[in-house]
Chain A
Amino acid sequence: MSAAGIAAQFTELALAVLLAPLLTGWVNQCRAWLQNKSAPGILQPYRVLAKLFQKEVILAHNASSLFRSAPYLIFGSLALSAAIVPTLGTDLPLNEAADAIALVGLLALARLFIALAGMDVGTAFGTLGARREMMVGFLAEPALLMVFFTASLISHSTSLSTIVETIAHRELVIYPSMAFAGVAFVMVSLAENARIPIDNPATHLELTMIHEAMVLEYSGRHLALIEWAASLKLFVYMCIGLALFFPFGIAGGGDWLGLVLALPALAAKLAVGGAALALIEMLSAKMRIFRAPEFLGTAFLLAVLAMLVHVMLEG
């Protein structure tokens, strides 16, 4: 744990929290460009958040204290997960507090609270969203865990810093298992972040919603926190993908220069990743909800195959 590490930790957390809406704005911008439309601008999510924070919260009569505290709990969990993933440097003090499995557990915790909040007011859409979100969750979470397992088997550790350091600083080796794991990870990310082909983030049809349906009852600052948390989740997933599959540019321990250079590297990688996400969304169509288990089942089996390929070819 060095001074550079502590600086990296705080910078990462602040960067994640402050820039996550920018990433969402960029993805929306790319999507609009690809569809030949004009987007409202990269800073639009910030304007939306500012507007929502000003507004008053309107709570249903039977909304409980769980409903009121859930947005803070969700935001806190996702901020903590952003602090754990190595985006700028690998010498993070919090890395000894939580490893890859704890990260998956943390994301599951956020999902549990948002599902419970969706069920709290007792509307049809809230429970529909909660049920679908947990369905996506119970298939996506094992797939994500298996992707981390594959990375752990390669680097002989579940600690995220060690994984990143092993993959980044080894001589250039092509890992077929990481190729499989990469495909599985992309599929899982699309599902968990409520993107096409699982869920359409821009839809207005409630019966096709998953994520949006759960938060229909939220308003004002609560809704602002939840929207922010959703963009933070996208940021975290992209950073996990970059850390596992493209970790070049992440500074090693105690390296101030590397830390400064890691910032533009991260920005460039996220820009490319956001554009790629918009491209994938453009090229796919939203699936029927009951094709989603097949999609995620394929991701799960790919991740298991990745583990097997590692034992077969790289063991």
Chain B
Amino acid sequence: MLQHFGPQVINLLAAVLLLLAFAMLSQRRILSLINLFAAQGFVLFLSTALVAALTDQKHLYVSAAVTLVLKVTLLPWILHRLIRRLNVKWDVETLINIPTTMLVGILLVILAFNLAAPISQLAGTVTRSTLGIALASMLLSFMMMITRSKAVPQVIGFLSMENGLFFAATAAVYGMPMVVELGVALDVLVAALILGVFIFEIRERFDTLDTRHLEKLKEH
């Protein structure tokens, strides 16, 4: 029963992940962005736990628990506190309007899926088509980073890129070696720290978190 429904539920979770990535693209409010990020973390937890049950790899249960603690509880809490301290609860403006971003998003999904197609042929699992979706949600998060002008959504975009990567690793190839996983997590942690320092410096200098002010650093 689990063997029959398991891969289907993983496909469903992949689709939900894609939906969340699109929802994050079209969101205007930072609070909802953080909640969607937490939802993404929850989807990740569910899929990791399911893969762990399907393939009977114990270390994936640990991975799932760590995801639940970090990505669903801790990180969103930190982000909530951050935006309250920085007082940035207002609406997010986008550089290009939302319908255009959604259209470009659809094109990115098509691109990502077709790029990943030859690789997913090589993988031996039943859920290998989720690789394309994971790549697509990574590209969508990257695009979110590009089209936002405030710093905090850009950071959230970066973090959700890592979510996509994690999903690709667990769902498409049924887990990656612990070493690789720890390495990626460490990279993300360091990047988040640097971004945090960055945010505070911007705030100090320009008294706002709008990254377009960085253009003042141009030569002329």
A and B touch in the complex (CB under 8 A): yes
A67 sits at the interface (CB 8 A): no
Task: Give Cα A313 to B103, complex, Å.
Answer: 20
Task: Give Cα A301 to B109, complex, Å.
Answer: 12
In residues 263-315 of chain A, which contact B (Cβ within 8 Å)? Answer: 294, 297-298, 301-302, 304-305, 308-309, 312-313
Docked-complex contact A174 and B109, CB < 8 angstroms: no
Docked-complex contact B99 and A177, CB < 8 angstroms: no
Q: Decide yes or no: A305 and B106 within 8 Å by CB, A174-B9, A180-B15 being known contacts.
A: yes
Task: Give Cα A313 to B8, complex, Å.
Answer: 10
Q: Which B residues touch A313, using CB under 8 A?
A: 11, 14-15, 129-130, 133
Partner of A301 from the list B11, B16, B106 (CB cut-off 8 Å) is B106
Task: Give Cα A207 to B12, complex, Å.
Answer: 42
B164 sits at the interface (CB 8 A): no
Partner of B109 from the list A173, A179, A302, A305 (CB cut-off 8 Å) is A305
Residues 134-145 of B, flagged 1 when their CB comes within 8 A of A and 0 if not, give 000000000000
Q: Which B residues touch A302, using CB under 8 A?
A: 19, 22
Docked-complex contact A308 and B106, CB < 8 angstroms: yes
Docked-complex contact A298 and B5, CB < 8 angstroms: no
A176 sits at the interface (CB 8 A): yes
Docked-complex contact B98 and A294, CB < 8 angstroms: yes
Q: Which B residues touch A173, using CB under 8 A?
A: 8
Docked-complex contact B99 and A176, CB < 8 angstroms: no
Q: Which B residues touch A176, using CB under 8 A?
A: 11-12, 14-16
Residues 76-112 of B, flagged 1 when their CB comes within 8 A of A and 0 if not, give 0000000000000000000000110011001001100
Q: Which A residues touch B157, using CB under 8 A?
A: none
In residues 1-58 of chain B, which contact A (Cβ within 8 Å)? Answer: 5, 8-9, 11-12, 14-16, 18-19, 22, 26
B132 sits at the interface (CB 8 A): yes
Q: Which A residues touch B61, using CB under 8 A?
A: none
Tell which of B15, B106, B132 has the most Cβ of chain A within 10 Å: B15
Docked-complex contact A312 and B129, CB < 8 angstroms: yes
Q: Which B residues touch A305, using CB under 8 A?
A: 18-19, 22, 106, 109
Partner of A179 from the list B12, B102, B103, B132 (CB cut-off 8 Å) is B12
Q: Which A residues touch B110, using CB under 8 A?
A: 308
Task: Give Cα A142 to B113, complex, Å.
Answer: 24
Docked-complex contact B133 and A312, CB < 8 angstroms: yes
Q: Which B residues touch A298, using CB under 8 A?
A: 26, 102
Closest to B110 in A: A308
Q: Decide yes or no: A177 and B15 within 8 Å by CB, A301-B106, A305-B106, A308-B110 being known contacts.
A: yes
Tell which of A183, A302, A313 has the most Cβ of chain B within 10 Å: A313
Q: Which A residues touch B99, using CB under 8 A?
A: 294, 297
Closest to B9 in A: A174
Task: Give Cα A301 to B5, complex, Å.
Answer: 28
Task: Give Cα A135 to B218, complex, Å.
Answer: 45
In residues 93-127 of chain A, which contact B (Cβ within 8 Å)? Answer: none
In residues 125-177 of chain A, which contact B (Cβ within 8 Å)? Answer: 173-174, 176-177
**Shortest beta-carbon distance from B220 to chain A in Å:** 39
**Shortest beta-carbon distance from A118 to chain B in Å:** 28
**Shortest beta-carbon distance from A293 to chain B in Å:** 9
Docked-complex contact A308 and B109, CB < 8 angstroms: yes
Docked-complex contact A312 and B8, CB < 8 angstroms: no
Q: Which A residues touch B11, using CB under 8 A?
A: 174, 176, 313
Closest to A294 in B: B98
* Residues of B near any A CB (own CB < 8 A): 5, 8-9, 11-12, 14-16, 18-19, 22, 26, 98-99, 102-103, 106, 109-110, 113, 129-130, 132-133
Q: Known contacts A297-B99, A308-B106; can you find 10 more A-B pairs with CB under 8 A?
A: A173-B8, A174-B9, A176-B11, A176-B12, A179-B12, A183-B19, A302-B19, A308-B113, A309-B18, A312-B129
> Can you give 13 contacting A-B residue pairs, CB < 8 Å?
A177-B15, A183-B19, A294-B98, A297-B102, A305-B19, A308-B110, A309-B15, A309-B18, A309-B133, A312-B113, A312-B129, A313-B14, A313-B133
6 closest pairs, A vs B, by CB? A176-B15, A174-B8, A176-B12, A301-B102, A313-B11, A312-B113
